[in-house]
Chains A and B, each alone.
Chain A
């Protein structure tokens, strides 16, 4: 582990200049795509390329050998060359002062015994050279503070606080696609590939110390050394939230055992217990994992589990209340003084209970006032706000219909859209003012992502949850993490 250190991670995530080794002129090959993505995403450092065919690709001069490159300028090499060529390449790179490598190359442990031997040699070489070698067989590395997109696939996500490490490159893409969709950004993302030298716990430990990262998000399939994974990840989770999703959870199953305890000890139950003990937030699905991470990254942490649901119509609130009842959260009894305060700004047909159902009773300024009253109440720890965007949805129908812009439609359309933007902003403002989570959920976030409501939620830096259930699940993860921190001095 000698070469896996802060200096190596700095070279990987904040390189002053990057070399792409194995540049191709063919736009379908990794050696072209990686160079393209690096240049297209606005990376400001120097970019160099080597290839057997010298010339120029995408405006970058391509040289035949690492020997032809300047000394002490380049920090990271992105390797697209065949496995057999990589030992010589890395030696030459080390000679130029390169401190980190990302190996996209396949042909290592994933192809059998021969590849495994090659991979062992790679790790020994990395240690000998004092070089951090990520991969091999990975899709790349992203670092938004450096505008670094050194990967062989899309997308490049917006900047933010989520740091991702994955044993599957595809899920790096999936998480970053959700980042693009929701606007909740990413700090670092790295595909661990075969994780030969640098393992998931190594990345997580770096994320724990990384000032631009607020939450770590990981996908794992196998955990080769379970005890070490537990000890190290527990230490990370004590510093920053770690959201984890595990593939292969149902594999293994229960086994025959002499003891009753042993026959109940399925792999997944033991793994789940390990996560609880380590303070890891374990998500069941990829979207749940992203939404939990996005919630950690953008919402204040709740101080308790008393939730109020605010809805503009009945059914939404009922279903949200059901979800809360099934979680570690509680549907807060509506405090008497809050009920009286709400009576003061609502006509009598509102629910007068939690969920706070406005039942269509709102006028121009009602929703921002109600949000502020509820979020600000000392006996409320978190709020789930439902019904945003219905006015703008109607506005979209009017705007696209045959009567627009006559009959006063233009004016009302603009009014509806302004109102939804106001409501979304009011939710974000109250959340910040009172330092409490306020989660906004509407299916319009995915069915009509250009609706003024979800647009304004994204503009406020928050995720607009696609359903109340998913908002409640995310809030449940947030609360469980807070509760775990509060209650567990390790004795």
Chain B
């Protein structure tokens, strides 16, 4: 994966093609799990209803996987199922890459995850970024309370978040064919950001 090589943390994930294989993978990973429909041309899984959360047993996984496979359209091309542990965290962030017409490749950090566009609390920097730049992006966010200890969860590990931003920047430098990327949501699990869903657009 283009981003994992640069230290972006992803949940352990299994790629399978049938509902039965999905149930086997879930048993290995441990319940609850998430099952998503994946494919080279599939973006914005949440909006299309291609993500099934909090599946607690084999029957639920089997049923979800079956309906996801049925939801694929001819435009989607070859599809597969992604099975991952259901990570829980009350805070969602977003990070990504965007090619700006004026300033070239930029990296973004924001709060809100799937609500990010509505919250609109984001910071941008030009790629490449230093660790100091990345730290200042975290400082720029208005919703600082969300980054401290929150509802029984520890404060967000700022160094881990800096790693994500610097990792995105490094991925863009290493692969100039990347024109955009979304880590959305970037769920804070026990204080550490994990990219539950990622989209990379290449030229």
Binding site for B on A (CB under 8 A): 223, 226-227, 230, 257-265, 267, 269-274, 276-277, 484, 487-491
Whether A259 lies near B124 (C-beta < 8 A) is no
Given contacts A263-B117, A264-B108, contact A258 B124 (CB under 8 A): no
Question: Per a CB cutoff under 8 Å, which of B117, B125, B130 touches A273?
Answer: B125
Which residues of the partner chain A approach B72 to less than 8 Å between Cβ atoms? Answer: none
- The residue in chain A whose Cβ has the minimal distance to the Cβ of B130 is A491
A489 touches B117 (CB 8 A): no
B96 touches A260 (CB 8 A): yes
Interface digits, B136-163 against A, CB 8 Å rule (1 contact, 0 not)?
A: 1100100000000000000000000000
Give the interface segment out of B2-10, B27-35, B51-59, B176-184: B176-184
B103 lies within 8 A of A261 (CB): no
Q: CA separation between A263 and B117, bound complex, in Å?
A: 8
- Bound-state CA distance A274–B140 (Å) is 13
**Interface contact A260-B184, CB-CB below 8 Å:** yes
Closest to B133 in A: A277
B103, chain A: closest CB distance, angstroms = 4
Cα separation A263 to B43 with both chains bound (whole Å):
15
Specify the chain B residue showing the minimal Cβ separation from A487: B132
Interface centre among B98, B102, B126, B182 (most CB of A within 10 A): B102
Q: Is the CB of B106 within 8 A of A259?
A: no
B124 contacts A272, C-beta separation under 8 Å: yes
A-side contacts of B94, CB under 8 Å:
260-261, 264
A227 and B104 contact, CB distance less than 8 A: yes
Q: Is the CB of A270 within 8 A of B100?
A: yes
User: Which residues of A have CB within 8 Å of B122?
Assistant: 264, 269
Contacts of A258 in B (CB 8 A): 43, 180, 201
A-B residue pair count with CB separations less than 8 angstroms: 103
Q: How large is the interface on B (under 10, 10 to 19, 20 to 34, 35 or more residues)?
A: 35 or more
- Contact between chains at A490 and B201 (CB < 8 Å): no
Closest to A259 in B: B180
B contact residues around A223 at 8 Å (CB): 102
B133, A226: Cβ atoms closer than 8 Å: no
Chain B nearest CB, measured from A286 CB (Å): 23
CA distance A487 to B140 in the complex (A): 15
27 contacts between A and B (CB under 8 A): A227-B104, A257-B180, A259-B96, A259-B180, A259-B182, A259-B199, A259-B201, A260-B182, A261-B96, A262-B96, A262-B98, A262-B180, A263-B117, A264-B94, A264-B110, A265-B98, A269-B122, A269-B124, A270-B102, A273-B126, A273-B137, A277-B133, A487-B135, A488-B130, A488-B133, A489-B132, A490-B130
Q: In the complex, what residues of B have CB within 8 A of residue A277's CB?
A: 125-126, 129, 133, 136
Query: Shortest CB–CB separation between residue B105 and chain A, in angstroms?
Result: 10
Report A-chain residues with C-beta under 8 Å of the C-beta of B184.
260-261
What residues on A are CB-neighbors of B201 within 8 Å? 258-259
Dominant SS among interface residues on chain A = helix
Cβ of B78 within 8 Å of any chain A Cβ, yes or no, is no
Given A259-B199, A260-B117, A276-B123: 20 more A-B contacts, CB < 8 Å: A226-B100, A226-B103, A230-B126, A258-B180, A258-B201, A260-B94, A260-B96, A261-B180, A261-B182, A261-B184, A263-B117, A264-B94, A264-B122, A265-B108, A270-B106, A273-B106, A274-B126, A276-B125, A277-B126, A488-B133
Instruction: Identify the closest chain A residue to B199 (Cβ).
Output: A259
Contact B106 A265 (CB under 8 A): yes
CB neighbours (8 Å) of A260 from chain B are 94, 96, 116-117, 182, 184
Q: Which 8 A-B pairs have the closest CB atoms?
A: A261-B96, A273-B124, A226-B103, A226-B102, A488-B132, A259-B180, A491-B130, A265-B98
CA gap between A276 and B108 in the complex, in Å: 13
* B71 interface residue per 8 A CB criterion: no
- With A and B bound together, what is the CA distance between A124 and B182 in angstroms? 45
Query: Which residues on the B side are within 8 Å of A489 (C-beta)?
Result: 130, 132
Residue from the list A257, A271, A276, A490 in contact with B140, Cβ < 8 A: A276
Question: When the two chains form their complex, are residues A261 and B97 in contact, meaning their CB atoms are under 8 A apart?
Answer: yes
Binary CB contact string for chain B from 164 to 201 against chain A (1 if under 8 A, 0 otherwise): 00000000000000001110100000000000000101
Quick check: B117 and A270 within 8 Å, CB to CB?
no
Give bound CA distance, A259 to B106, whole Å.
13
Smallest Cβ distance from B199 to chain A, in angstroms? 7
Report the Cα distance A484→B108, complex, angstroms.
Answer: 19
Complex Cα distance A488/B136, Å? 9
Question: Is B131's beta carbon under 8 Å from chain A?
Answer: yes
CB-CB under 8 A from B95, the residues of chain A are 261
Question: In whole Å, how far is B1's beta carbon from the nearest beta carbon of chain A?
Answer: 17
CB contacts (< 8 Å) of A488 on chain B: these are 130, 132-133, 136
Query: Nearest CB to that of A276 among chain B residues?
Result: B136
Q: Which residues B59-111 have CB closer than 8 A to chain A?
A: 94-98, 100, 102-104, 106, 108, 110
Q: In the assembled complex, how far is the CB of residue A229 from the closest CB belonging to chain B, in whole angstroms?
A: 8
* B132 near A264: Cβ-Cβ < 8 Å: no
A271 surroundings in chain B (CB, below 8 A): 102-103
The answer to whether A227 touches B103 (Cβ under 8 A) is yes
In angstroms, Cα B97 to Cα A366, docked, is: 58
A491 to B125, CA, bound (A): 15
Q: How far is the CB of A413 from chain B (nearest CB, A)?
A: 50
